[in-house]
């Protein structure tokens, strides 16, 4: 067994260290099982995305022609054009066949391929939610570690209380509040940030970068304020579970400083649940935030999904749903594949 100062030894159920041959045999089977599970989940997403949005009230053709005099023959022609006159089972098989080849269909309202619309809006969503996820994941890990290590202190109670309060606040309500205070201005606080959009359109080069960053402040602040609490609470709980371990007592008895005990031993062993949370958050990067993007008129996938639901634009909502769910499945798969590298007991 390694010296306690070098960290706890990962052992199997019998208490013995895992053998190299056993690990070489078990890990490929573990990976194959996870890949199979991800494939089944993706198939379930395809089925769900088709039938889920078919129960949305409303007729897409009538919604698109609302306010425009349209005869019954014209409505029938539009339904035939969009394939809505076919039996449901045939619509489903056609949809699955196209989706498996990467064809997500053509949008009813934009008259453009769904894949092109998603590719056009994806960079804006990745920029906004990616920045927010990086900030609130790092903030949650740092504050969660400090709160757990100083459990019961004033800073722990303040951090936990603030996190729980912000976590319970609806993101759209917080976004509207920030717009009122920092965009419109209230009392002595002047309006400092734009109310929505991604750019003003009157700058280029480095000025364009500053302009986009200026527009990002409030939506990113909204996402960070609501999102960091979950990472903080999971990290705090995991680290509290590790703090009573004998290996930490041994490390302290050998003279290691408290910050080294925390950084080299306690935190690495408390990371598994938090790794799951971080990868789930990364999965949300592609999905964006429908409410926040809508409130701030951010030109990303969240706002596009809201537009598609208002029709409903079935190919577009189905395509976006597949992309959102597929991103989550992929991130969960990557987290599962990373676990054995962090803890050799996983996958044996």
C-alpha 308/C-alpha 318 separation (Å) is 9
* 200: CB partners within 8 A, 6+ apart: 194, 211, 215
Q: Measured between alpha carbons, how far apart are the two ends of the chain, in Å?
A: 19
pTM over 0.85, yes/no:
no
* Cα–Cα distance, 136 to 129 (Å, whole number): 10
Phi, psi of 15 (to 5 degrees): 95, -10
Predicted local confidence at residue 12, as pLDDT = 43
Peptide bond into 221 cis (omega under 30): no
Q: Given this model, what pLDDT does residue 287 score?
A: 60
| Spatial distance between the Cα atoms of 147 and 228, rounded to a whole number of angstroms | 14
Identify the bridge partners of residue 190 per DSSP, sorted by sequence position.
Answer: 185
Measured distance CA(11)–CA(23) in Å, rounded: 12
Q: Tell me, rounded to whole angstroms, the distance of Cα 248 from its chain centroid.
A: 34
3-state secondary structure of 297: coil
Per-block mean pLDDT, blocks of 10 residues, the chain (348 long): 43 45 67 87 84 70 67 75 76 80 81 88 88 89 86 87 87 88 79 82 78 90 87 85 75 76 74 77 70 87 84 83 86 81 64
The residue assigned the tokens 């039996």 is: 87
Domain ranges of the chain: 4-342
Q: Is 207 exposed, middle or buried (0-12, 13-18, 19+ CB in 10 A)?
A: exposed
The predicted pLDDT at position 25 comes to: 65
Query: What is the spatial distance between Cα 145 and Cα 148, in angstroms, rounded to a whole number?
Result: 5
Contact 220, 292 (CB under 8 A): no
Q: How many CA atoms lie within 13 A of 302 on its CB side?
A: 23
**What pLDDT, on a 0 to 100 scale, did the predictor assign at position 6?**
45
In CATH terms, the fold of domain 4-342 is: MetI-like fold (1.10.3720)
**DSSP characters for 141-163?**
HHHHHHHHHTTTSHHHHHHHHHH
* pLDDT reported for residue 221: 92
Write down the residue that tokens 């798969």 correspond to. Answer: 333
In this prediction, residue 195 carries a pLDDT of 81
């Amino acid at each position: 067994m390694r010296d306690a100062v070098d960290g706890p030894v990962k052992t199997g159920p019998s208490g013995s260290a895992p053998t190299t041959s056993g690990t070489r045999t078990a890990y490929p089977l573990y990976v194959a099982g996870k890949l199979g599970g991800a494939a089944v989940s993706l198939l379930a997403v395809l089925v769900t995305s088709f039938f889920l949005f078919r129960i949305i009230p409303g007729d897409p053709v009538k919604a698109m022609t609302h306010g425009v005099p349209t005869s019954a023959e014209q409505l029938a022609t539009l339904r035939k054009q969009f394939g809505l006159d076919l039996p449901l089972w045939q619509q489903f098989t056609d949809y699955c066949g196209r989706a498996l080849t990467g064809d997500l269909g053509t949008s009813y309202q934009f008259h453009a391929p769904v894949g092109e619309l998603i590719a056009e809006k994806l960079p804006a969503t990745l920029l906004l939610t990616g920045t927010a996820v990086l900030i609130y994941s790092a903030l949650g890990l740092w504050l969660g570690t400090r709160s757990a290590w100083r459990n019961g202190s004033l800073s722990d109670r303040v951090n936990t209380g603030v996190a729980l309060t912000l976590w319970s606040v609806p993101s759209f309500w917080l976004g509207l509040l920030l717009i009122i205070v920092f965009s419109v201005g209230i009392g002595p606080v002047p309006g400092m940030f734009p109310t929505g959009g991604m750019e003003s359109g009157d700058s280029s080069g480095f000025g364009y970068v500053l302009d986009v960053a200026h527009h990002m402040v409030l939506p990113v602040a909204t996402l960070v304020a609501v999102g960091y609490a979950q990472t903080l609470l999971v990290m705090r709980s995991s680290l509290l579970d590790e703090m009573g371990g004998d290996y930490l007592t041994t490390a302290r008895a050998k003279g290691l400083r408290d910050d080294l005990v925390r950084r080299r031993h306690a935190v690495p062993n408390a990371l598994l649940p938090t790794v799951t949370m971080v990868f789930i958050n990364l999965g949300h990067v592609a999905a964006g935030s429908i409410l926040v993007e809508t409130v701030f008129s951010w030109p990303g996938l969240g706002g596009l999904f809201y537009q598609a639901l208002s029709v409903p634009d079935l190919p577009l909502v189905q395509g976006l749903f597949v992309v959102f769910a597929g991103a989550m499945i992929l991130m969960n798969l990557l987290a599962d594949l990373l676990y054995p590298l962090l803890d050799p007991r996983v996958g044996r």
